[in-house]
Amino acid sequence: MTSELLDRALVEEATKKSGLVWVRGAGAPAARALWHVWHEGAACLVGDGPGEQPLPGLADGAEAEVTVRSKDKGGRLVSWTARVVELAPDSEGWAAAVAELKGKRLNAPDGEAMTARWARECRVLRLEPTGATLPLPEGSLAEAPVPTPATTRQAIPAGLPRLLVKKKRKRT
């Protein structure tokens, strides 16, 4: 009994303090980093709509595996199983979860209209802890990056450092 209470407290406190969790839904090949808020005993997520995070493998009634990282060091703190509950748009639970999520959503393209967009085009999910903590995963969980046409910056030209040094000398 004491162990269960300590596990529940660890899950809640770690998840509450971390702005990002790694979630692997049923049938998903790998865990995905998702932003969330902790609200009324569960991690709440919004996604699967235009401009929002994808939520692969997270279906209503399914189970998911959640790994919580430390906000300051980035290391894994705890892994736990969750029951996925999809909230119906404009229900009481949906409104409460969205009120919390709205405050944490960064760079929303539509500001105050985002809650109406979420109701029309997105899913709001609750990841409710089942009470079972899991052993932390061994090794790296890193996946290959998704293919993209974006490129990294090129190396600086060899003569650039000399040009910068000359400009500094002329100023003095």
Domain count, the chain: 1
Give the range of the structural domain holding residue 44, as residue numbers without chain letter: 2-145
pLDDT at residue 29 in the model? 81
Residue labelled with tokens 């998702």: 34
pTM value is: 0.78
- For residue 82, the domain's CATH number is 2.30.110.10
The verdict on residue 122 lying in a domain is yes
The verdict on residue 125 lying in a domain is yes
pLDDT at residue 60 in the model? 93
Tokens of 84: 């996925």
Tens-level pLDDT at each residue, the chain (172 residues): 678 888 899 899 999 998 889 999 988 888 889 999 999 999 999 999 888 999 988 999 999 999 998 878 878 889 999 999 999 998 999 999 999 999 888 887 787 889 999 999 999 999 999 987 888 777 776 667 777 787 777 777 777 777 777 655 555 5
The verdict on residue 156 lying in a domain is no
The verdict on residue 42 lying in a domain is yes
The verdict on residue 81 lying in a domain is yes
The verdict on residue 164 lying in a domain is no
The rounded distance, in Å, linking the Cα atoms of 13 and 30 is 25
The answer to whether the beta carbons of residues 137 and 67 sit under 8 Å apart is yes
Task: Kindly give, in sequence order, each residue whose CB lies less than 8 Å from that of residue 63, ignoring residues fewer than 6 positions away.
Answer: 26, 81, 82, 83, 84, 130
pLDDT at residue 171 in the model? 57
The verdict on residue 150 lying in a domain is no
Chain CA centroid to CA 12, Å: 15
Which amino acid belongs to residue 66? V
The rounded distance, in Å, linking the Cα atoms of 59 and 143 is 23
The verdict on residue 169 lying in a domain is no
pLDDT at residue 168 in the model? 59
**Alpha helix ranges (H) inside the chain:** 2-17, 92-104, 114-121, 160-171
Task: Kindly give, in sequence order, each residue whose CB lies less than 8 Å from that of residue 81, ignoring residues fewer than 6 positions away.
Answer: 63, 64, 65, 66, 129, 130, 132, 134
